[in-house]
Amino acid sequence: MSIAIDTSIRAGVSSQALEIKPISGPLGAEITGLDLNLPLSGLDLARIRMALVRHNVVVFRDQHITPEQHVAFSRRFGPLQVHVLNRFHLQGHPEILIVSNVIEDGKPIGLVDAGADWHSDLSYMPKPSLGSLLHAQELPAEQGDTSFANMFNAYETLPAEVKQLLEGRRAVHSYVYRYRRLQKLSPWRADLTQKQIDEVPEVEHPVIRIHPESGRKALFVSEGFTSHIVGLPKDESDALLRFLHEHSVDPENVYRHQWRAHDMVFWDNRSTLHYAAITPQQLRRTLYRTTVEGDIPV
């Protein structure tokens, strides 16, 4: 049997003076004392990972890092997923998706409406994302917040009869379903090519998933990517998904992140949904996103 040893442990890298400060509200913590320009020890990584699982979203302030460092840090948590919209990859860094409302030479430099409805990143993949790391590049003086909903709470606060109704149910997640819906609202979404469509066939996942690291149950459906619940008539599935959506994004269950320059935000896609309204074009907003691959949901 081979045992994986973190290279930072082997190299004897010393730990940074991390402090984890929970944000008051349903989720979130700020991690201070971390500088992503310095080497990270195995202990630093373990503490970040534990904070992520416990608080669902962790915020690192004032990180002056290059795209290479962003990718290298993200990779410490698992393999990275490459987004199907290759048009918005950062040049030379296909693991980075540009999220931006900036138009240059009449063309968008990034995906302007990446967060335009509530979703969990890449839930349409057979192995949905463990988490996403979003690093602020250029921020407007106002607007541009990102909101996160706690999907452990969403499950735990469901009425008993709804929990029973959902037990053992599966739902379909589809990239193309969401894309075509957003396409009606956004002039920047060109038609997908057949190759892109073939890369993201729809998938089924359990409606309630067990978090692989904490063992807690989380609701795993979203307004964005979940087209329907398997085995229910369309009107019943639509009504149930609408109910679950409204229940999940109740303001009491949401943390709204107001971005500061050079913030890096790391969220757990297995236990949160997120949303960011499109920021008007005159308020320039650009962020770089990586997504770490997770497990097959159970």
Which residues participate in catalysis according to the annotation? 119, 121, 274, 289
Q: What is the dihedral of CA 86, 88, 89, 95, to 10 degrees?
A: -80
Helix (H, G, I), strand (E, B) or coil at 78: coil
Question: What minimum distance in Å lies between the beta carbon of 289 and ligand SIN?
Answer: 5
Rounded to the nearest 5°, which phi and psi values hold at 226? -90, 115
Interface with ligand SIN, residue 115, by CB under 6 A? yes
Out of 55, 83, 205, 289, the only residue in the binding site for ligand SIN (CB under 6 A) is 289
Interface with ligand SIN, residue 110, by CB under 6 A? no
Question: What minimum distance in Å lies between the beta carbon of 241 and ligand SIN?
Answer: 19
Q: Output helix, strand, coil percentages for the chain, rounded to the nearest 5.
A: 25, 30, 45
Q: What is the CA radius of gyration of the chain?
A: 19
Question: Within 124-143, which residues bind ligand SIN (CB under 6 A)?
Answer: 132
Per the document, the length of the chain is 298
- Judged by beta carbon, residue 121 or residue 268, the one nearer ligand SIN is 121
Mark residues 73-92: x for contact with ligand SIN by CB under 6 A, - for none.
--------------------
Question: What minimum distance in Å lies between the beta carbon of 208 and ligand SIN?
Answer: 23
| Residue 157, both tokens | 């606060």
Question: What minimum distance in Å lies between the beta carbon of 136 and ligand SIN?
Answer: 9
Phi-psi region of 34 (alpha: psi -120 to 50; beta: other; left: phi over 0): beta
Interface with ligand SIN, residue 114, by CB under 6 A? yes
Task: Kindly state the number of chain residues that form the binding site for ligand SIN, as judged by CB under 6 A.
Answer: 9
Q: Which stretch binds ligand SIN (CB under 6 A): 29-37, 114-122, 166-174, 189-197?
A: 114-122
Distance spanning both ends of the chain, measured CA to CA: 26
- Judged by beta carbon, residue 29 or residue 98, the one nearer ligand SIN is 98
Q: Are 252 and 227 in contact, with CB atoms under 8 Å apart?
A: no
- Judged by beta carbon, residue 71 or residue 276, the one nearer ligand SIN is 276
Interface with ligand SIN, residue 263, by CB under 6 A? no
Question: What minimum distance in Å lies between the beta carbon of 272 and ligand SIN?
Answer: 11
Relative to beta strand 286-293, strand 93-100 is antiparallel
Out of 120, 146, 253, 272, the only residue in the binding site for ligand SIN (CB under 6 A) is 146
Rounded to the nearest 5°, which phi and psi values hold at 110? -155, -175
Interface with ligand SIN, residue 276, by CB under 6 A? yes
Q: Which stretch binds ligand SIN (CB under 6 A): 70-78, 113-121, 184-192, 214-222?
A: 113-121
Interface with ligand SIN, residue 121, by CB under 6 A? yes
Rounded to the nearest 5°, which phi and psi values hold at 85? -85, 80
Question: What minimum distance in Å lies between the beta carbon of 21 and ligand SIN?
Answer: 22
Q: What is the DSSP string of 220-237?
A: ---TTTEEEETTS-HHHH
Q: Return d(Cα 126, Cα 29) in angstroms, integer.
A: 29
DSSP 8-state secondary structure symbol assigned to residue 253: G
Interface with ligand SIN, residue 113, by CB under 6 A? no
- Binding residues (CB under 6 A) for ligand SIN: these are 99, 114-115, 121, 132, 146, 274, 276, 289
